[in-house]
Amino acid sequence: MTRILSLVFLLLTVNALLLKSDNQPPTASRVTTLFDFGWRFYRGAAQGAEAPNYRDASWRAIDLPHDWSSEDVPGTNSPFSAKAISQVSGGFTTGGTGWYRKTFVVPESQRGQRIQLQFDGVYMNAEVWLNGQRLGAHPYGYTSFWYDVTDKVQFGANNVLAVQVRNEGQNSRWYSGSGIYRHVWLRVLAPVHIEPWGTYLTTPTVTAATAQVKAETQVRNEATQPATLTVVTSLRSPAGQQVARLETKQTLTAGSNARVQQTLSVPSPALWSVDTPVLYTARTQVFRGPQLLDQVETPFGIRTVSFDPQQGLRLNGQALKLKGGCIHHDNGPLGAKAYDRAEERKIELLKASGYNAIRCSHNPPSPALLDACDRLGMLVIDEAFDMWREAKNPEDYHRYFAAWWQRDVASMVLRDRNHPSIILWSLGNEIPERGKPEGVATAKELASYVRKLDATRPITAAVNGLGPDKDPYFAVLDVAGYNYATAGDHHQADIYGQDHARLPKRIMYGSESYPLEAFGSWMAVRDKPYVVGDFVWTAFDYIGEASIGWLGYMQKPEFYPWNLAFCGDIDICGWKRPQSYYRDALWKENQVSLFVQAPTLSFPTNPKKEEWSKWEWHDVLADWTWPGQEGKPLTVEVYSSCEQVELVLNNQSLGIKPTNRSTHYTATWSVPYQAGELKAIGRTGRQSVGSATLRTATPPTRLALKADRTELRADGQDLSYITVELVDEQGTRHPKAQFPLTFEVTGPGVIVGVGNANPTSTESYQSPQRTTWQGRALVVVKATRQPGTITLRAQGQALPAATIALESR
């Protein structure tokens, strides 16, 4: 019997050691649940709705993410209203007050654990109750926040979570959206656990042979007894192999927390870069004896970043220029709803158009967007605020800054600091007090606090009104962001060069630039090592600041029904606009694109537009269908990075022209219009290396449907973006067709957005119908949580109905 008991003890010991190994971890008590499903929503005031027994049966059943400003205004078929308080800034969308309630059960078996609720983003002025007890308020609409609700949860019984959201008054210079527009999470933890955002990974030393990884873990003991713990950090390669492991003993008294610091070495590290965005994973485990109390997995990248006025930006020791774009947080037809796939697609499209960097203007983004940047290789400037103590709008964040800035900066930095994609922290954008002593003092406060939380990244800010009076403000920063510096070959004042002559140690980049000045802005980056990049306003079009890309500033209520900015390289549906093709010629080899100047203006202009308001692009279209223009000269523009371009109309050459720096990579012809085929052929040397073709369209005969993805996850969140085109018998999209279409989904999917990128369309984003613009429309289909075949059917204008099938698994 003694021998048998000894054998059993030995087996149990071996099993415990196996469970502690990296390959077979024991099950931790941490359970994280996506809390997006099964909510009820009411648009308007609802006195007493925080009470558990409030009757919400008549409220609308919804899932998150949710944005009521992208929904139709009650009693209408449009989200837009000329009377909206947001006016031009918010794209004439409506905010107001909204209420959310969710009933849920925490099992009795989880009594004794810690319960936390985390909100990734609520716009704005969120006030939260659980079972009628107030958890707190969170004013800022762009930072994440969480509550420990252990003492308010009823185990084994119904719990009621209530959230009031108030997006009231003039509080934003762009479309903000309204509501719980990002994910919500429920976490169940052991009393001894890793704190939220409590892992911090840095790579202070990186060589080809080895990388030093510093792991810092915040562990908290909320038990009633002291705890002797073992903190284990193990690192796995992108292939999933363990490459390092370290154990550290730590004793915590009851109610205390500790910062556990560890240094690990990774042999022959694979480096994260924009071209090879390889990610390692850190698994952090907390044991008490053989018992695993908590476990967190954190993706991270091994890379080095440096900024220098002589050598510019260097990523892993290699010189890199930032091909950048500013983006707002909305997702076009989805409004502000931050579905993971919507955020991922945005980055995919930008990467495909040559971007390697984005600036999150002017607020911290969703975690999903940063995850996508990590996976896809997109560098990020993570920006905190659009204003500090001085207002830009009467009800904006300036009212909360003094009391809240430190908590909101901590939320941004602690949440985001493990993302290898982030290379700069931005304190703010065009801060009104930037040229005043009090503004400099505030900048010092913010910069000091950011460096305390993360000293591995330089600090920047975007500054307008450039001049020597901003020198004290810039002196607080590590890298200087210049908004609308006129530059280089644009034959205007070279502020970059002037400031470099005055302050040769200053490192600069164009934090915002006009699309119209793309050539000069990029030549300055190419020519000047101390100018490390350029960020166009904007990479992606957005709702709000309506018409700055056409009617411009100053903006007026009469601009309605304009609701889109109309200044993005890529429009709100994800389709490239002409300026994006021009940027291709600046950034990529062997590019050719072909456009025609509209013989009559596409939209009426603003005769009182300010001279400095230059966010528009040339009024050109990818269109060779001009009935009524036969024999009349049309101006044709070709953007190309080839050495020269030949233009051919119906197999007849119209000549060859150079396309190089001296021509601003553009060639122009005057061509008498005749229907048929217009083709631009790019040549380098004697070799044809690229081409672009426009064909005259005949009346549409069918609908063509194309999905960006035909296989979806049946998770209630995944999306497919389906482009619907009106094409003729040859498959050519008719660029002038504006036909109303209707859509129907069968199977386990729903339509969550429709659009056409028409900046003056006031149609619903959510009704299953849309009028085409330039011959196309977009339908966004979301999978439910049931697997199966989803079928989208489109029909309209007496054309045969067309379908496309998606598989949800």
pLDDT tens-place string over residues 344-353: 999 999 999 9
pLDDT attached to residue 686: 87
CA 772 from chain centre, in angstroms, equals: 26
Burial of 96 per CB tally in 10 Å (0-12, 13-18, 19+): middle
CA 1 from chain centre, in angstroms, equals: 65
Those residues with Cβ within 8 angstroms of residue 181's Cβ, 6 or more apart along the chain or in another chain? 64, 65, 66, 67, 121, 122, 123, 335, 336, 337, 338
Q: How far is CA 484 from CA 138, 165, 386, 520, 612, in A?
A: 34, 36, 17, 11, 10
pLDDT attached to residue 17: 36
Sheet of strand 788-796, all strands in order from the earlier edge strand to the far edge: 711-712, 799-808, 788-796, 740-746, 769-771
Query: How many residues would you count in the chain?
Result: 809
List, for residues 96-108, the tens digit of each pLDDT value. 999 999 999 999 9
pLDDT attached to residue 12: 39
Among 88, 130, 133, smallest CA distance to 559 is for 88
Burial of 253 per CB tally in 10 Å (0-12, 13-18, 19+): exposed
CA-to-CA distance for 171 and 165, rounded, in angstroms? 14
Among 375, 325, 381, smallest CA distance to 345 is for 375
pLDDT attached to residue 494: 85
Which segments of 16-86 are extended strands (E)?
31-34, 39-43, 60-62
Q: How far is CA 105 from CA 108, 115, 149, in A?
A: 9, 12, 13
- What would the two tokens of residue 706 be? 């194309």
CA 421 from chain centre, in angstroms, equals: 12
Which is it for strands 158-167 and 184-189: parallel, antiparallel or unpaired? unpaired
pLDDT attached to residue 493: 64
Among 37, 764, 784, 783, smallest CA distance to 334 is for 764
Give one DSSP letter per residue of 342-411, joined into a string.
HHHHHHHHHHHTT--EEEETTS---HHHHHHHHHHT-EEEEE--S-SSS-SSTTSGGGTHHHHHHHHHHH
Could you identify the residue written with the tokens 């969120």?
126
The answer to whether 463 and 471 have CB atoms below 8 angstroms apart is no
The answer to whether 514 and 611 have CB atoms below 8 angstroms apart is no
CA-to-CA distance for 543 and 567, rounded, in angstroms? 11
CA 758 from chain centre, in angstroms, equals: 22
293-311 burial: b if 16+ Cβ within 10 Å, else e: bbbbebbbbbbbbebebee
Number of Cβ atoms within 10 Å of the Cβ of 257: 14
CA-to-CA distance for 782 and 750, rounded, in angstroms? 5
Among 138, 197, 196, 146, smallest CA distance to 165 is for 138
Low-confidence ranges of the chain (pLDDT < 50): 1-26, 487-492
Conformation bin of residue 404: beta by default, left when phi > 0, alpha when psi is -120 to 50: alpha
Q: What angle do CA 99, 543, 580 make, to 5 degrees?
A: 145
Q: At what angle do helices 518-527 and 578-587 cross, to 10 degrees?
A: 20
CA 103 from chain centre, in angstroms, equals: 31
Domains and CATH numbers, the chain: 31-181 (2.60.120.260), 192-300 (2.60.40.10), 305-540 (3.20.20.80), 592-622+626-695 (2.60.40.10), 702-808 (2.60.40.10)
